Structure 1
Amino acid sequence: MKFTTFLSTDGQPRLGLVDGDQVIDLNAAQPQVPAGLRAALEAGADLASAGAAALASQAPRLPLASLALAPLVPEPGKTICLGLNYYDHAKEGGREKPDYPWFFFRGKSSLIGHGAAGQLPSVSEKFDYEAELALVIGSRVPRHVSQADALQHVFGYTCFNDMSVRDYQKRTPQWTIGKNFDATGGFGPVLVTADELAPGATGLRIQSRLNGQVMQDASTTDMIWGVAETIALLSDCLTLEPGDVIVMGTPAGVGQARTPPVWMKDGDVIEIAIERIGTLVNPIRREKA
């Protein structure tokens, strides 16, 4: 199944079930399901059964292309990102394989949906793209979970663009500040449930395209730490909860590693495409004074 999060006429995020090029408001069709993805997962809603019932019903359909989309999880409890999680990206950054994942967090004000503008900061010109696979946790992950059991807690997968303000990222040993400017985390447009993909979403082609030109082109199999191992490592430290998001790092080809560097500019369009999941598109607009 595929889900999305769209904005209602009053600007509230609503969980939508994707049916081809149309969307069913799942809460409207199945009132027992909370109206938001995180709330539905926290409540333990059986989204597979509710979705099947909605698809079989005469529930109203909305054209997907007509909807304003929100980040898939507008307010995750945690958004945990990995740096240097592809061998080729670590190499292009002048580093060998890290001994442990480089984890950092993103805040909710950095997140935007498909079609929304990524915000080129007024204080920097070094605005970069990063194509990434993201996953949404569907059920509480017990501490010290094994890799063998980790994937049963993944609800689904989507696209993410970890847009990065490189000069601010490099101002401190911690990357947080360069990864949390407002409106720099593209997230969507749809979430594909885990049962539709290979375990850990391996073997999927992942690309970024800037103004139609392919900049990154790799496979999710090339990740250093796969999804199961990442969840197991995180569970040694903290509790992963329904609606938490993990963003799995980017392959080689980012703008800062090119000669000369390629920075996103006002008017650009950046696309993140992941095979069997979808394409996330965000125009780039300069921050208004």
Structure 2
Amino acid sequence: MKWVRFQAPGVEAAYGILEGEIIHQIEGSMMGEYKKNGETFARKDVKLLVPCEPTKIFCIGANYVAHIKELGMEIPDRPSTFMKPITCAIANGENVVIPEEATRVDYEGELGIVIKNVVKRATPEEAKNSILGVTACNDVTERDLMKWPFQLTYGKSFDTFAPIGPFIDTEIDPDDTIVRTYLNGEKMQEDYTSKTVFKPSVLLSYLSQVITFYPGDIIMTGTPYNVQPMKDGDVVEIEIEGMGERLVNTVYDPKVHT
């Protein structure tokens, strides 16, 4: 199933099920009980929003083995974690805006998991059963600011630095798929989620020992090797194998347009 959150004429924000090119609006919650309310919309006539409403966005650093080797690091014995504020989140088709103080802004294509219920001190098995589905994410990073001591979150938290979407897919196995990133049509990243150190259920279980997760919260599960910078006008596409559609965002640098 493909869940979307959308705007349409007469509809400020609603959830629906995407079937082909038709969106079926629902009543209730995609996290629990729901039903189609009989309203349908053509995909081309709506604006897709960030596909859920998270209270928090957690991210994982250095999780793909090839990326860890690329960085010259040792395989970690526990996840490296940080957060992005909700103000980072943008939808499919919206612009990633280069901040004024930026000197290098990188893409980081990632698989995101969406949480479907309250999770606190969960076992990995309990955590696995608490994942609604997956979505494509871009952990946009101002690389030079991030290099300051203890500034990981600072360099990753500018507005628009968390593209998410275009929808949530409930049928993809997050432990066994492929993440790809394209820059202006050229494939830049590709790796198997099976080649990560910490699988999504382990990540959610680990974090839930400290943090309570709520429905709609997101964990970005790390990026593959070959992170590169972006510039004004670049088009970045994040693909999760099996989703059938990419997350697409254009980079906009206000300095170039003044």
Say whether residues 1:69 and 2:48 are aligned partners.
Answer: yes
Residue 144 of structure 2 aligns to a residue whose secondary structure is helix
Q: Is the 8 A contact 2:137 2:164 kept in 1?
A: yes
Question: Pairwise mapping of residues 182-261 of structure 1 onto structure 2 (< 5 A)?
Answer: 182-193=159-170, 196-198=171-173, 201-255=174-228
TM score, norm. by length of structure 1: 0.83
Closer, same or farther: CA 89–11 of 1 in aligned 2, 3 Å: farther
- Aligned 8 A contact 1:5 1:70 in 2: yes
- SS of corresponding position for 1:4: strand
Deviation at 1:202, TM superposition (A): 1.9
- Residues 172 and 6 of structure 1: CA distance in aligned 2, closer, same or farther (over 3 Å): farther
Report whether the alignment pairs 1:131 with 2:109.
yes
**Segment of structure 1 superposing worse, 184-193 or 147-156:** 147-156
State the SS of the aligned residue for 1:12: strand
Partners of 1:97 and 1:224 in 2: CA distance:
8
| 2:147 alignment partner in structure 1 | 170
Letter in 2 for 1:45: G
- Deviation track 1:140-180 (CA, whole Å, cap 9, x = no partner) reads 1232x221222111111110011111111112323111111
**Structure 1, 275-284 or 10-19: larger mean CA deviation:** 10-19
Equivalent in the alignment of 2:33 = 46
- Residues 1:282 and 2:246 are matched in the alignment: no
Q: Which range moves more in the overlay, 78-87 or 9-18? A: 9-18
Q: 1: distance between equivalents of 2:223 and 2:233?
A: 23
| 1: CA distance, partners of 2:120 / 2:17 | 29
Deviation at 1:216, TM superposition (A): 0.2
Is the Cα contact below 8 Å between 1:68 and 1:115 reproduced in 2?
no
Gaps of 5+ in 1: 34-39, 256-262
Contact (CA 8 Å) 1:117, 1:283: kept in 2 or not? yes
Identity level (%):
32
- Tell me how far 1:60 sits from its aligned partner: 3.5
Q: Secondary structure, in 3 states, of the residue corresponding to 2:230?
A: coil
- For the residue of structure 2 that corresponds to 1:61, the secondary structure is strand
C-alpha distance in structure 1 between counterparts of 2:140 and 2:11, whole Å:
25
Match of 1:273 in 2: 239
Question: Does the 8 Å CA contact 2:182/2:238 hold for their aligned counterparts?
Answer: yes
Unaligned runs of 5+ in 2: none
Q: CA deviation at 1:11?
A: 8.1
Q: When the two structures are aligned, how many residues end up with a matched partner?
A: 255
1:264 matched to 2:241? The reply is no
How many Å separate the matches in 1 of 2:47 and 2:143?
A: 29
Give the CA RMSD over aligned residues: 1.8
- Helix, strand or coil at the partner of 2:181: strand
User: Equivalent residue for 1:105?
Assistant: 83
1:10-89 → structure 2 map (5 Å cutoff): 12-26=12-26, 30=27, 33=28, 40=29, 45-47=32-34, 50=35, 54=36, 59-74=38-53, 76-89=54-67
- Give the whole-Å Cα distance in 1 for the aligned partners of 2:13 and 2:99: 26
Q: CA deviation at 1:9?
A: 4.2
Per-residue CA deviation, residues 75-128 of structure 1 (Å, 9 max, x unaligned), is x11111101111111111121112211110111111100000111222213111
| Ranges of 4+ aligned residues in structure 1 off by more than 6 Å | none
Q: Which amino acid aligns with 1:72?
A: P
- Residue of structure 1 equivalent to 2:4: 4
TM-score scaled by structure 2? 0.92
Alpha carbons of 1:287 and 1:177: their partners in 2 closer, same or farther (altered >3 Å)?
A: farther
Distance 2:192 2:45 in 1: 31
